[in-house]
Structure 1
Amino acid sequence: MTVVEGTQTYDVARIREDFPILGRRLAGDFPLVYLDSANTSQKPVQVIDAIDDHYRQHNANVARAMHQLGAEASAAFELGRDKVAAFIGAPSRDEVVFAKNASEALNLVARVLGDSGRIGQDHEIVITEMEHHSNIVPWQQLSQRTGASLRWFGVTDEGRLDLEGIDQLITEQTAVVSVAWVSNMLGTINPLETIIAKAHSVGALVVVDASQAVPQLPVDVAALGADFVAFTGHKMVGPTGIGVLWGRYDLLAELPPFLGGGEMIETVTMAQSTYAPPPARFEAGTPPIAQSVGLGAAVDYLSAIGMDNIAAHEQAITAYALGALQEIDGLTIVGPKEAVDRGGAISFTLGDIHPHDVSQLLDSRGVAVRAGHHCAKPAHQRFGVQSTTRASFYLYTTTQEIDALVEALHHTKKYFS
Structure 2
Amino acid sequence: MTQLPGLLDTEAIRKDFPLLDRQVHDGKKVVYLDNAATSQKPRQVLDALNAYYERHNANVHRGVHVLAEEATALYEGARDKVAAFINAPSRDEVIFTKNASESLNLVANMLGWAEEPYRVDRETEIVITEMEHHSNIVPWQLLSQRTGAKLKWFGITDDGRLDLSNIEEIITEQTKIVSFTLVSNIMGTINPVETIIRRAQEVGALVCIDASQAAPHMVLDVQALQADFVAFTGHKMCGPTGIGVLWGRQELLEDLPPFLGGGEMIETVSMHSSTYAPAPHKFEAGTPPIAQAVGLGAAVDYLSSIGMDHIAAHEHAITEYAVKRLLEVPDLRIIGPSTAEDRGATLSFTLGDIHPHDVGQVLDEQGIAVRVGHHCARPVCLRFGIPATTRASFYLYSTPAEVDALVEGLEHVRNFFG
TM tier, smaller: over 0.9
Query: How far, CA to CA, are the matches of 1:97 and 1:362 in structure 2?
Result: 39
Contact 1:187 1:346 in 2 (8 A): yes
Report the number of matched residues.
414
Q: Which runs of 4+ in 1 moved over 4 A?
A: 1-5
Q: Residue 99 in 1 paired to residue 100 in 2?
A: no
Aligned letter for 1:259? L
User: 1:253 & 1:397 partners in 2: Cα distance?
Assistant: 42
- Confirm or deny: 8 A CA contact 2:8 2:396 kept in the other structure: no
Give structure 1 stretches of 5+ with no counterpart: none
Q: What is the DSSP-based 3-state SS (H/G/I as helix, E as strand, rest coil) of the residue aligned with 1:28?
A: coil
* 1:404 paired residue number: 405
Q: Does 1:149 align with 2:143?
A: no
**Cα deviation per residue 1:146-171 (whole Å; 9 max; x = unaligned)?**
11000000000000000100011111
- Aligned to 1:10, which of 8, 11, 16? 8
Would the aligned equivalents of 2:209 and 2:230 in 1 still touch at CA under 8 Å? yes
Query: Which residue identity does 1:303 align to in structure 2?
Result: S
Distance 1:4 1:383 in 2: 34
Instruction: Give yes or no for contact 1:239–1:295 (8 Å, CA) kept in 2.
Output: yes
Q: What amino acid maps onto 2:270 in structure 1?
A: T
Report SS of the residue matched to 1:352. coil
Q: What one-letter code is carried by the residue in structure 2 that aligns with 1:149?
A: K
Task: Give, in angstroms, the shift of residue 179 of structure 1.
Answer: 0.4
Q: CA deviation at 1:10?
A: 2.3
Shift of 1:28: 2.2
1:377 maps to which residue? 378
Confirm or deny that 1:326 pairs with 2:324.
no
Q: 1:41–1:237: 8 Å Cα contact kept in structure 2?
A: yes
Aligned to 1:205: 206
Partner of residue 86, structure 2: 88
C-alpha separation between the residues in 2 aligned to 1:222 and 1:332? Answer: 37
* Counterpart residue type for residue 358 of structure 1: V
Contact 1:20 1:44 survives alignment (8 Å): yes
- Does the alignment pair 1:270 with 2:240? no
Question: Residue 320 of structure 2 aligns to which amino acid in structure 1?
Answer: A
Amino acid at match of 1:165: N
CA contact (8 A) 1:3 1:10 kept: no
Question: How far apart, CA to CA, are the structure 2 residues paired with 1:328 and 1:213?
Answer: 28
Cα distance between partner residues in 2 of 1:2 and 1:259: 51
Equivalents in 1 of 2:137, 2:395: separation in Å?
26
TM-score by length of 2: 0.98
What is the match of residue 74 of structure 1?
72
- Is structure 2 residue 122 aligned with structure 1 residue 121? yes
Task: Quote the residue 2:224 is aligned against.
Answer: 223
- AA of the residue aligned to 1:368: A
CA contact (8 A) 1:237 1:298 kept: yes
**SS of the residue 2:96 aligns to:** strand
* C-alpha separation in 1, matches of 2:25 and 2:54: 33
SS in 2 for 1:263: coil
What's the CA shift for 1:193? 0.6
Match of 1:138 in 2: 139
Q: What is the SS of the residue equivalent to 1:154?
A: strand
- Secondary structure of the 2:162 match is coil
Q: What does 1:300-311 align with in structure 2 at a 5 Å threshold?
A: 300-311=301-312
Distance 1:69 1:28 in 2: 46
Deviations 1:302-355 (A, max 9, x none): 000000000001110001110001100011110000000000110001111111
Query: RMSD value over aligned CA atoms?
Result: 0.9
CA distance in 2, matches of 1:227, 1:306: 25
Counterpart contact for 1:227–1:248, Cα < 8 Å: yes
Letter in structure 1 aligned against 2:282 = R
1:368 deviates by 0.1
